[in-house]
């Protein structure tokens, strides 16, 4: 990614130039919720209806580890909320702990979702989670299945991460160096990361812990589950990535993605293909919609919406717009 080498300075520069304020025109309440459609007219045609007792239902974007709704003027899902709003979708973006386990983040998200349901009048919601946000979304779906229409996860480690296992000592010879490399890499993207916080997160997505989580949070028959993965390090659309993908995914079949420098070490440890942190094999939950040529940060347009690099034509905003419209077409 072209701007990644400047990443260590981004949080400092943004804070200094903005005073950590926001110019978001949509109100942010004390629960950290943003209703991106609050000041929109009723959507045209079949995109959105004033009757929220049936689909299409509002969208909820759930951020991952070290995530945020909006920090200063930077959106975690960079530019996505605004694009979906412009298309007529009603979008909510809850903010939960940026660094914590799903045992903590899950209940926080549940409280936020219950408030969204109450204030919006919607019968159901579509949850779209990136990375750990997808695991948190599953936590919520298990507890209020009658209020969730669909759960879509992007780059989420459902079956437990090989990178997490290695960093936690399953591969002792590389555990310490990998943990340090991950701390530096994530710090490059998002600012300082304490090794103790990173270790707690990695434990929550380890193979052992995710096996336990999956036994306690099986798929609910009344909810539609969809999953997507990223392929980076110039991995082609082959092998486990080859499925009957919808058009908003298959349009990128011929594109290749160079992995971001901070993710290079972990990309060499995770089984191929992977997105620099999460291997394709562990992202599958429900109907697998395929792989996009995007590393873990390209999937949300970070940093600052920059190009994925090289000749890669992946456009994260177009991807989310396609996903949202596809969910509508499925009746959600």
Q: Which residues are catalytic?
A: 131, 275, 296
Cα–Cα dist 15/20, whole Å: 5
CA 292-55-327 angle, 5° bins:
10
List the beta strands (DSSP E) in the chain.
Answer: 59-62, 70-71, 74-75, 91-92, 125-130, 148-154, 224-230, 287-292
Cα–Cα dist 60/129, whole Å: 8
Give the contacts of 76 (CB within 8 A, at least 6 positions apart): 61, 63, 64, 67, 68, 69, 70, 130, 300, 302
User: Quick check: bond before 56 cis, omega within 30?
Assistant: yes
Cα–Cα dist 267/257, whole Å: 12
């Amino acid at each position: 990614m072209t701007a990644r080498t400047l990443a260590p300075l981004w949080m400092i520069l943004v804070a200094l130039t903005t005073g950590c304020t926001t110019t978001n025109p949509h109100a942010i309440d004390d629960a950290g919720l943003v209703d991106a459609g609050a000041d929109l007219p009723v959507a045209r045609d079949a995109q959105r209806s004033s009757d929220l007792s049936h689909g299409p239902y509002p969208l909820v974007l759930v951020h991952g580890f070290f995530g945020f709704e909006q920090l200063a003027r930077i959106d975690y899902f960079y530019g996505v909320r605004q694009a979906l709003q412009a298309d007529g979708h009603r979008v909510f973006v809850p903010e939960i702990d940026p660094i914590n386990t799903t045992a903590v983040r899950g209940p926080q998200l549940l409280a936020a979702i219950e408030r969204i349901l109450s204030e919006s009048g919607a019968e159901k919601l579509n949850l779209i989670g990136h990375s750990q946000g997808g695991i948190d979304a599953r936590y919520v779906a298990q507890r209020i299945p009658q209020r969730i229409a669909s759960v879509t996860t992007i780059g989420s480690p459902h079956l437990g991460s090989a990178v997490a296992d290695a960093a936690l000592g399953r591969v002792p010879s590389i555990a310490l160096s990998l943990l340090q490399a991950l701390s530096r890499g994530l710090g490059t993207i998002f600012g300082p990361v304490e090794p103790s916080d990173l270790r707690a997160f990695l434990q929550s997505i380890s193979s052992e812990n995710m096996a336990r989580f999956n036994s306690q949070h099986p798929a609910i028959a009344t909810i539609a589950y969809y999953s997507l993965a990223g392929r980076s390090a110039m991995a082609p659309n082959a092998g486990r990535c080859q499925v009957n993908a919808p058009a908003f995914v298959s349009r990128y079949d011929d594109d290749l993605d160079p992995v971001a420098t901070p993710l290079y070490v972990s990309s060499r440890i995770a089984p191929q293909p992977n997105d620099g942190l999460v291997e394709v094999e562990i992202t599958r939950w429900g109907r697998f919609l395929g792989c996009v040529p995007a590393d873990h940060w390209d999937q949300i347009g970070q940093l600052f919406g920059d190009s994925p690099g090289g000749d890669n034509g992946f456009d994260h905003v177009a991807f989310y717009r396609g996903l949202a419209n596809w969910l509508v077409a499925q009746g959600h």
